[in-house]
Amino acid sequence: MQSFTHDGFELTFLDRQPASGEGDPVLMIHGFASSHYVNWVSPGWFKTLNDAGYRAIAFDNRGHGSSSKSYEEADYTPVKMASDAAALLGHLGIGRAHVMGYSMGARIAAFMALSDPDKVATLVFGGLGIGMVDGVGDWDPIAAALLADDPAATSPV
């Protein structure tokens, strides 16, 4: 895993060129309470895209997987999380990529397309509910869940 720092977060990612050489980049954004591994590596999406000739890129959103976590609710907005995705492309020197998002990752991808349309070649949304049609919905429960203590980090009394 590689990492870079953006907006005070250390964000971890995988970046793999296809064996055939340089391929079009595909940025994969995972869902809530998940990681790049659970949504993209384990089910085979990362390998399948890479084997098909694409540059496969997947990262752990802030507060998820191996990326760092904050205890500030304001750090977990779709706009800020979309800026992480755009910053990763900048960090990698990629001007434009295909972007795939699943669930919360689809929402983040949509916000990225709105804030940085020049960086998004195409969008693929998976597991995105009616909220995309009738409104963004309430982001606060997601932010609150990301602020919860990690039970694995506390020792028994």
Q: What is the pLDDT of residues 73-128, one digit of tens each?
A: 999 999 999 999 999 999 999 999 999 999 999 999 999 999 999 999 999 999 98
| pLDDT the model gives residue 27 | 98
Specify burial of residue 19 (Cβ count, 10 A radius: 0-12, 13-18, 19+).
Answer: exposed
Specify burial of residue 22 (Cβ count, 10 A radius: 0-12, 13-18, 19+).
Answer: exposed
Q: Are 91 and 67 in contact (CB under 8 A)?
A: no
Of 43, 87, 93, which Cα lies nearest the Cα of 61? Answer: 87
Q: What is the pLDDT of residues 79-93, one digit of tens each?
A: 999 999 999 999 999
- Considering the entire predicted model, what is its pTM? 0.85
Q: What is the pLDDT of residues 34-68, one digit of tens each?
A: 999 999 999 999 999 999 999 999 999 999 999 99
User: Thinking of the domain 2-147, which architecture would CATH place it in?
Assistant: 3-Layer(aba) Sandwich (3.40)
